[in-house]
Copies of this chain bind each other. A is one copy, B any other.
Amino acid sequence: MSLLLRDTENYGNVYIEDTAIAEIGCGAYDVDTVIDAKRKALVPGFVNTHTHAAMTLFRGYADDLPLQTWLADWIWPAEAKLTGEDVYWGTKLACLEMIKTGTTAFNDMYWHALESAKAVDEMGIRGVISNVFIDIDGRTDRSEEEAQRETKRLITKLTKDYSDRVIPALGPHAIYTVSEESLMWIAEFAREENLLTHIHVSETGQEVTDCIEKNGMRPVEYLDRIGFLGPNVVAAHCVWLDDKEISLLAKHNVNVSYNPTSNMKLAVGENVRYPALCAAGVNVSIGTDGCASNNNLNMLESAKFASLFQKSATNQPTMMPARDALSMVTKHGAQALRIGRGGGEITVGAPADLLLVDLQLPGMTPLHNLDSNLIYASSNCVDTTICDGVVLMEGGVVDGEEEILMKASETAFDLVTRRQ
């Protein structure tokens, strides 16, 4: 398959062969498909490095509550009733929203992961798919051995039964919900199988306090001590870090996923130390978190929150300029998720995970600076979404959209009203 993006505003003609960018600023070719890209700009697809896709079913279900009430009285009871079918439709809805807002790859952790994989496979974007691994909080009654066996089976299935866009990963929930033994086993298994590992780290001060009490050290030190850290780890949140922990994250090339919108909405109580993480050389990307705590999957909006929150928190209007924020949601994310050479960039050989953004919008007018308009002005500007060389949306329209909205809506209402 070949595809020509004709007359993009910023790169001229761009020629895509199969799944990669083959030529930039080229002549016209005899190709299978031509897309007229006049008055549109070419931008790499966005990469969301922390989410729980199927939680779109809980969008707006329980907002403005204290954290413990929210979790214990609303989210956990609803999650206890979750079926695979729920997760399938929730993830379909999430993928639809991601395609419409320009996300071409995401890092997921949730229950019934095979259903998430099925949804990702059908929707055409890339998903790093992990099942939540929990063995010590009482929410599962599996033994450690059972949990490990299930995890192995799941990774085998995720690897074999779906397209290459489904990237199998491990999802140990957090240090307070996974036993030390399992964390060590996961680290070992990830190294053997070369798997990405997705974990929550230091989202709340409570986690830090508890870890110090239990282990005599802070969470990242603890993860270092047990040999968990490595370049395959995507650590979500990392809100509460001291200098030593930042050095450890840098030393082990851990990827940090900053979730500004969720952190602010849940009032986690501290500011992610973005300048210090950058100074240490840590790869920082951006996640939306799940829709119960954001409440959307719009990466440009989250990038604006990240940039403005960091400017405000550091008292420096020069902090995280638009260009850096854009890199965070493109190439930093692609690096974290190992999308491959050129991932998140517009360059020959890069994966054809690409967007055409509409420049004929009030928020894109005038066009003094495309990066500024993308990050600060215009979070709903994506006209065309391409992933792995396949056009998933053109002119803002995604195939099957109405059915997904209807089924996800029905599923969500059924779920929250269903008896245990």
Q: What residues of chain A have their CB less than 8 Å away from a CB belonging to chain B?
A: 56-61, 63-67, 70, 93, 96-97, 100, 261, 263-267, 269, 291, 294-296, 298, 301, 305, 307-309, 311-312, 314-319, 321-322, 360-363, 365-370, 372-373, 376-380, 402, 405, 408-409, 412-413, 416
A174 to chain B, nearest CB (A): 19
Contacts of A317 in B (CB 8 A): 64-67, 70, 265-267
Minimal beta-carbon separation of A106 from chain B (angstroms): 14
B377 touches A308 (CB 8 A): no
**A70 to B317, alpha carbons, bound, how many Å?**
10
B residues in contact with A365, CB < 8 Å:
56, 59, 93, 405, 408-409, 412
A412: chain B residues within 8 A (beta carbon):
365-366, 368
Tell me if B416 and A60 are in contact (CB < 8 A): no
Complex: A63 Cα to B375 Cα, angstroms: 11
Other than the known A295-B373, A379-B380, what 18 A-B pairs have Cβ atoms closer than 8 Å? A57-B366, A58-B368, A59-B377, A60-B367, A60-B373, A60-B377, A63-B322, A64-B321, A64-B322, A97-B362, A267-B316, A296-B377, A309-B312, A360-B402, A365-B408, A365-B409, A366-B408, A380-B380
User: A268 — nearest CB in chain B belongs to which residue?
Assistant: B312
**In the complex, what distance in Å separates the CA atom of A305 from the CA atom of B59?**
18
A-B contact pairs, 12 of them (CB 8 A): A60-B368, A60-B369, A60-B372, A64-B318, A295-B372, A295-B377, A296-B376, A296-B378, A365-B405, A366-B408, A366-B412, A380-B380
Partner of A294, one of B318, B376, B405: B376
Q: How far is the CA of A366 from the CA of B92 in the complex (A)?
A: 13
A308 to B263 CA separation, bound complex (whole angstroms): 9
CB distance from A102 to the nearest CB of B (A): 13
Q: Chain B contacts of A291 at CB under 8 A?
A: 377
A373 to B409, CA, bound (A): 13
**Chain B residues, CB < 8 A from A61:** 366, 368-369
Q: Are A265 and B315 in contact (CB under 8 A)?
A: no
Measured CB to CB, the closest approach of chain B to A309, in angstroms, equals: 7
- Complex Cα distance, B304 from A309, in Å, reads 13
A294 to chain B, nearest CB (A): 7
Chain B residues contacting A362 (CB-CB under 8 Å) are: 56, 93, 96-97, 100, 405
Q: How far, in angstroms, from A409 to B366 measured CA to CA in the complex?
A: 5
Compute how far the CA of A188 lies from the CA of B321 in the bound complex, rounded to whole angstroms: 44
Contact yes or no, A60 B366, CB < 8 A: yes
Contact across chains for A363 and B296 when beta carbons are under 8 A apart: yes
CA A362 to CA B312, docked complex, whole Å: 30
**Cα distance, A64 to B314, chains bound together (Å):** 13
Question: How far, in angstroms, from A409 to B365 measured CA to CA in the complex?
Answer: 6
Q: Is the CB of B377 within 8 A of A265?
A: no
Closest 4 CB pairs of A and B: A60-B372, A366-B412, A97-B362, A64-B321
How many Å from the CB of A224 to the closest CB on chain B? 29
> Do A311 and B267 form a contact, CB below 8 Å, given A366-B408, A367-B409, A413-B366?
yes
Distance of A100 from chain B, by nearest CB (Å) = 6
Query: Bound complex: CA of A57 vs CA of B59, how far in Å?
Result: 36
Query: How far is A311 from B291 in the complex, measured between Cα atoms in Å?
Result: 17
